[in-house]
Amino acid sequence: MKLLRKTSPIIKTISSSIIDLPTPINISLWWNYGSLLGLLLSIQIITGITLSIHYTPDINLAFLSLTHITRNVNWGWLLHNLHINGASIFMLFIYVHIGRRIYYNSFYIKKTWNIGVSIFILTIATAFIGYVLPWGQIRFWGATVITNIFSAIPYIGKTTVEWLWGGFAVRNPTLSRFFILHFLTPLVICIIIVFHLVFLHESGSNNPIGILSNSDRISFHPYFTIKDIVGLLPSTLIISIIAMVAPNTLIDPENFIEANSLITPTHIQPEWYFLWLYAILRSIPNKLGGVIALLSAIIILYYPRSISIKKISLRFCPVIKIFFFIIVNSWFILSWIGICPVEEPFILIGQIFRRIYFLYFFSIKYISNFWFINQ
């Protein structure tokens, strides 16, 4: 009871800060994805905790425990389908959320942007370690390949990999550690989201025009809560249809085979939301260079915050608009390259669009400043 009394003022402060948040009157449906991500995170946490009751983090029982959940546990098939497909929808929405912030020049709100990128990085880590837990064939080999990239670190690489594995291969200690981390990282994400909302309340939300003004703001509730509900209903419907009608559409067929360390799959590929990173990793023949490019592709998202343009959205700059759609297309092409075999011409295409991806972030600052100076 004492704990509830102490935490209740904090909860009231957070809820009131969201309800009373001064919100631009002209924001569109593209601003709904923040609340949608909150809904999906709640679904992922609830379904994940429920599934963990019947899951066994043991290499001999993990695959069988998932079979038991889907066949014998009441509504286990629905919880499992919601959790797996919810992860895909969550990653889709977070990509749209990041794309919207870049398109409408929201990254100059530095604290909110930095916290958001940190949430994205933690989400990638959470999705990866959760991807391994069902112990399917591609999942096992994907974990082996991805964790092996740390061996490229000079001097301490081999020791780091053995520490991650808990031994000399991806075995039982690895699965146990991934299971515990998959529980802890969502809690960390929830804490960081609170800071994300606090900083958003401090700076206010951006709008399609890009001009921050207190005169054209209204309280978030009830105007935009209704607008968010309009977005929540179709999103919930889509997730439900995928979970109940086509739950296996996004799952690699080989993941229905239990992991076997003696049989290497012909073509190893991660989930669709990691394909662009996998393509960047493969596009550099040097192992250390590929790891650096992979990490840089994520860390570079912190870079746009250094742009000081505040007076108007970059979508009104035609050159930046063209560059934005080029980088979106390069993301799709890199994702396609990630499922292609490592051979020509796919290697060359991956190298070209990897350079385009990095070029966008290094050139946006100078092009935008040049454009607005000459207006």
pLDDT tens-digit series, residues 199-249: 887 777 777 776 666 567 777 777 778 888 888 888 888 888 998 888 888
Catalytic (active site) residue 201: yes
DSSP string spanning 306-371? G----SS-GGGSHHHHHHHHHHHHHHHHHHHHHTS-SSTTHHHHHHHHHHHHHHHHHHHHHHHHHH
Catalytic residue flag (residue 227):
yes
Both tokens of 39, joined, read 């809904």
Q: What pTM was estimated for this model as a whole? A: 0.89
* Catalytic position from the list 106, 182, 228, 330: 228
97 assigned to active site? no
Catalytic residue among 106, 227, 254, 283: 227
Question: Do the beta carbons of residue 71 and residue 80 sit within 8 Å?
Answer: no
> Does residue 296 have an active-site annotation?
no
DSSP string, 291-304: HHHHHHHHHGGGGG
Q: Tell the burial category of 151 from Cβ atoms under 10 Å away from its Cβ (0-12, 13-18, 19+).
A: middle
Q: Where exactly are the structural domains of the chain?
A: 28-208+218-246, 272-375
Pick the catalytic residue from 201, 252, 283, 368: 201
Question: Does residue 6 have an active-site annotation?
Answer: no
The single residue of 205, 235, 283, 368 carrying the catalytic annotation is 205
119-172 pLDDT, tens digit each: 999 999 999 999 999 998 989 998 998 888 888 888 888 898 999 898 888 989
CATH of 28-208+218-246, one of 1.20.1090.10, 1.20.810.10, 3.40.50.10540, 3.40.50.150: 1.20.810.10
For residue 259, give the amino acid letter: A
The single residue of 271, 313, 330, 368 carrying the catalytic annotation is: 271
Determine contact, residues 270/131, Cβ cutoff 8 Å.
yes
User: 103-125: per-residue pLDDT in tens?
Assistant: 887 777 788 888 999 999 999 99
Q: 224 phi and psi, to 5 degrees?
A: -95, -15
DSSP H or E segment with residue 24: strand 22-24
